[in-house]
Each structure stands twice: as structure tokens, then as C-alpha cells.
Chains A and B, each alone.
Chain A
Amino acid sequence: MANPAESHDEVEIVACTNGPLLVRGEIDLRSADGEPIEQTRKTVALCRCGVSAIKPFCDGTHKLVNFTT
């Protein structure tokens, strides 16, 4: 895992049923062209249904499209 040197904790990812990937711990999140993506909270939810308007983060819209895992 690409992990910043200052990270102290292991990263935990919960694959939420019918929902996002819940990521706890410090991760190095970057766009396709390598730019860092700002994270304003310690735990983030990453979209995996594909319909979020704020990708890579989850905005809850998986519930509107009946996304199932």
C-alpha cells in the first residue's frame, strides 16, 4: 500500500454491503494524473456504485439506484 511515511496506523477498509468502501487510516489518495486528492476527514467512504457526484467519495446516491454488492 502506498502509505505516507508519517502514518502510524494500519489502514482498514470495510466493504460495506450495498454501499461504499469505508476507509479508516491514512491513505495516499491520488487522481489518475497523480495529483493528491484532499481528504478533510480521518475516515472516508469511497464510491463503488459509480453514480456518486463527488467521486472518488460516496454521496449516498447508491441508495437511489438500488446498488447491490
Chain B
Amino acid sequence: MNPTESSPAQTTSPSVAHTSPTLCENWHDEEIEARGPISGLLLDAFRSQATPHTIVGLAAEVTAAVESGRDFVRDDDVQLALYLLYGLYYGGVVDSGDLWEWHVDTISARLELECAFEAQLRRLVSVPELPNATAEDVAQALFALTAPDPNAGPSLSRHVAKSLTHEQAIEFMVQRSIYTLKEADPHSWAIPRLTGRAKAALVEIQADEYGGGRRDRMHSELFARSMRGLGLDSRYGTYVNFVPAVTLASFNMISMFGMNRRLRGAIAGHLAAFEMTSSVPNGLYARGFRRLGFNEKVTEYFDEHVKADAVHEQIAARDLAGGLAESQPALLSEIFFGASACLLVDDWVGQHMLESWTSHNSSLRKPFPFAAVRASQAGLANRAAPATSANTGA
């Protein structure tokens, strides 16, 4: 799709590992499918060769969606529309959007959809009793909020460790790819919106997310390597069409928190909760993928996060969230709103996968070409080790 790319992508089967680039810089060449009138109007506009113009009918469709009172979290059209609109700022989603980035129609649509999405989240998220606005009290309250619940029901991470199948492993990576191929980016929007101790803390965490200056250690690159190890295409956006609204909602929520200065408390709380619920699950993910026979190339991403996020959670709790609360006590409830929203929405995503799999369904919204991906993975394995007569027929 990207006319500036001269990659041989067009000859590659859409959902099979793209073998030529070693790093995930190239854009995907999948045609993103509309999921309703709003996403349809946006896709048509972004793809047209005309200079940005009033998108006829967009405002009316957005207003109709907002006034319908629909469940925005699970609304395919609304979540894809938000994803496309935020994609104008990230890049890598629809390649022809440069001139639309600050167009009044796209900004108006985003604001109206965001407003309704945020209002729904605020209705559904319950915020715990607030601690004193000191860094240590905030940290302890966040650790209490995110503490593993020994009486909780089935969890996604335990399922991954014990029962994940190969096809579910592929789905898991596809679902994760929406955020993780851009890992850290949505929280980085907040850096210039913070000051002092909270800013230094966020930069310290994000620098580590971005590999501490080493490109091959960037967490997004580690994840891309894991995807390729499963035979998946690691170019950003390849699998958007397969991913349900709730997965897009999880990513859109972080983009919303990160891109709006007024939500800087929420983005700080979100990152704290995100980091605090990462080390232990990632250890279980690593165990599950090893059980399925995947090697270090695939599990490195998870292993790295066990160690990294045990560091990040301490910094995020005390210095980012705690530091922000000390300097701006008025943001205390927003910090805990962001943390609680992270837990709730990520639980919806996890439960969606878990419930789909326990009822022997796919968690994806349309049939996935598992056979092609597995054949691609077999091809990778064959290239890694000289082929023998035993494995060339796969």
C-alpha cells in the first residue's frame, strides 16, 4: 500500500512471514476493511488521491453513533475509526494519511468519538479509595490494586502456561501485535506533558523499552522477532482485519490517554498498572510457548519482560505515578482511574480470548490462515537448520 516502499511485499502471501526485512520498518500491504459507515468514510478519504476535503456524511455518522448509546468498547466501526484516526499520528496504519493528520474533519470526528468512549469508560471503571498524595502511599495503593488475586477465576496467563494450543499461540500473537509492535509508543506521548520526577521516571522506563539505544533490543523489535519465529508477518498492521473491537479498544484507550494532556494522570496510572501486571504473566507466557516447543527466538520477548518489568513497575509506581501525585495532588483520582481502566479493559481482552478458546472458537473476527502461517514457520525452521528428507515434506 505504501507507494514509497519498493519492497517485494506484493508477491508475499498476506499473512505469511515476510522474510526479507529483518526489522519491522516496512508497512503492511493488507487492505484494511471497513467495519461500518464511519470507518468506511475514513478509509475512502485516506485512500483518495484528492487533497483533504470535507468528508461528506462523516459528522452525521459520528453523531448518530454517539447518540445511539451503543457499547463503544465492542463496536467494530467505532473502534476501527478511532484506530484509523490515531493511526494518522503514529503512521503505519493507512499510508496515505499525512495530509489528514490535522484536518478539521478528522479531529472533530476523533474528539466526538473519544468523548463518548471516555464517558463509557468512566461509567464502567470503579476507582478505589484514594491514598494520601505521597509517592510511597501511591505506590503501595497501586501495588494493592494490581495484586494477583489468589481467588480469581481462570486467567489468560495460566491458560497460556498450561493449555495453549499452537493455533491459540498464533492468535495470541496476532491480538498482541496491535499494541506490541508499537510497544511503548502510546505512553511516550505523555513525556512532554510531565515535569520533574514523573518525567524523568517515564523517560527512564521508555528508554529501556526502546532498547537503551540498541535497536535490536527495542521491545517492539523483540516482539517482531517472536512473531516471525511463529511464521507471522511482523510488519505493522498486517492483521488488523482479524482483530476484534475490544483489542482495538485497549490500544485506542492508551492512545487517548497519551495524546490528551488533560489525561496525563490517567496515562501515568495506566503505565503503572500495565507494568505491575506484566512480570508474572510474562513468565507464564514464556512457559507456555516453551511447552509448545518454541525456542529462545520466540520466548526472548517474554523472558525479557519478566526482568524488565520487575524494574519498571517500581519506577512507575513510585517515581512516575507517585511523583506525579506529589507534585500535582489534584491528579490523584485520575492516576487511579487510569490504573483501574488498564486493569478492566485488559481483563476484557484476556477474557475474550479465554472464553473463545474454552468454547473451542477462534478469538479472531474472521477465519485465519493458520496453515499458511505454520507452513511459513516450517520453512523458517528448515532454513535455520539444513533441510533433511524428514522435514522438507512439511
Contacts and interface: CB of A to CB of B under 8 A. Distances in A.
Contacts of B148: 63-64
B74 interface: no
B236 to A, nearest CB: 25
A7 interface: no
Q: Which of B139, B140, B280, B310: most chain A CB closer than 10 A?
A: B310
Interface residues of B, number: 25
A63 B143 contact: yes
A18 B310 contact: no
Contacts of A1: none
A40 interface: yes
A60 B315 contact: no
Q: Which of A17, A44, A53 has the most CB of B within 10 A?
A: A17
Contacts of B204: 42-43
Interface string B69-86: 000000000000000000
Given A40-B217, A59-B306, A63-B143, A19 B314 contact: yes
Given A16-B318, A53-B283, A60 B212 contact: no
Question: What DSSP secondary structure best describes chain A's contact surface?
Answer: loop
Interface in A42-68: 42-45, 53-54, 57-61, 63-64
Interface residues of A, number: 22
B136 interface: yes
B280 A63 contact: yes
B308 interface: yes
B332 to A, nearest CB: 19
B280 A43 contact: no
A42 B310 contact: no
Contact of B280 (A17, A18, A41, A61): A61
Given A45-B314, A58-B311, A17 B139 contact: yes
Interface string A1-29: 00000000000001011111010000000
Contacts of A40: 212, 217, 307
Nearest to B281: A60
Interface string B272-283: 000000111001
Nearest to A61: B280
Interface in B296-326: 306-311, 313-315, 318
B212 A18 contact: no
B211 to A, nearest CB: 10
A60 B279 contact: yes
A17 B136 contact: yes
Contacts of A44: 311
Given A18-B143, A22-B315, A58 B310 contact: yes
A64 B150 CA distance: 9
A30 B116 CA distance: 54
Given A16-B318, A22-B311, 4 more contacts: A14-B318, A19-B143, A59-B283, A61-B279
27 contacts: A14-B314, A17-B136, A17-B139, A18-B143, A22-B311, A22-B315, A40-B212, A40-B217, A41-B208, A41-B212, A41-B308, A41-B311, A42-B207, A42-B208, A42-B212, A43-B204, A43-B311, A43-B315, A57-B310, A58-B279, A59-B310, A60-B280, A60-B309, A60-B313, A61-B283, A63-B147, A63-B148
A-B CB proximity, top 4 nearest: A60-B279, A58-B310, A45-B311, A60-B310
Interface of A: 14, 16-20, 22, 40-45, 53-54, 57-61, 63-64
